[in-house]
């Protein structure tokens, strides 16, 4: 199993800019990988560029890669390989720019929903008192 832990998927970012924060195209991709056989290699791919090996940080048990992402939305993928040759994948979509005019509602309605996202097992539904809700 492999999972990107940072940066955040752009679809899940609720506060893209904190006060006095300057957006940057520089980022560090952080990932976790697990296997009963033991992980031997984790690679990262930014957009459609070539796969790059990530560095293992033993003290934190994570894999990292400092990189630059292009302006606008860009996919980041990781591939973890274990001693048996099995592979695990994860991917997210990141961006260095956000639409700052779009404000979050955060009023308990479903207006802030990201919709369905099958690859992350988000069904686009929600329990609760909104138009996507189900009967209790």
Residues 102-121: what's their mean pLDDT?
Answer: 68
Dihedral angle computed from the Cα positions of residues 77, 103, 132 and 121, in that order, rounded to the nearest 10 degrees: 10
Instruction: Examine the domain organization and report whether 123 and 97 are in the same domain.
Output: no
Instruction: Examine the domain organization and report whether 61 and 10 are in the same domain.
Output: yes
Q: How many CA atoms lie within 13 A of 111 on its CB side?
A: 8
pLDDT band at 131 (very low <50, low <70, confident <90, very high): low
Residue 17: the pLDDT is: 61
Domain containing 18 equals: 2-102
Peptide bond into 7 cis (omega under 30): yes
Closest to 35 (Cα-Cα) out of 1, 78, 76, 73: 1
- Rounded Cα gap, residues 114 and 100, in angstroms: 17
CATH number at residue 12: 2.60.40.650
- Rounded Cα gap, residues 22 and 119, in angstroms: 30
Closest to 44 (Cα-Cα) out of 58, 26, 30: 30
Residues 23-34: what's their mean pLDDT?
Answer: 87
Residues 107-136: what's their mean pLDDT?
Answer: 64
Number of domains in the chain: 2
pLDDT band at 98 (very low <50, low <70, confident <90, very high): low
């Amino acid at each position: 199993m492999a999972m990107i832990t940072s940066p955040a998927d752009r679809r899940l970012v609720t506060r893209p800019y904190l006060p006095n924060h300057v957006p940057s195209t520089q980022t560090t991709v952080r990932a976790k990988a697990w296997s009963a056989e033991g992980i031997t290699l984790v690679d990262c791919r930014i957009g459609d560029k070539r796969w790059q090996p990530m560095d293992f940080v033993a003290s934190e048990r994570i894999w990292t890669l400092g990189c630059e992402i292009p302006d606008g939305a860009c996919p980041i993928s990781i591939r973890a390989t274990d001693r048996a040759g099995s592979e695990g994948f994860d991917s997210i979509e990141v961006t260095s720019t956000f639409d700052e005019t779009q404000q979050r509602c955060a009023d308990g309605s479903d207006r802030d929903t990201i919709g369905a996202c099958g690859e992350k097992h988000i069904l686009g539904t929600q329990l609760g008192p909104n138009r996507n809700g189900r009967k209790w």
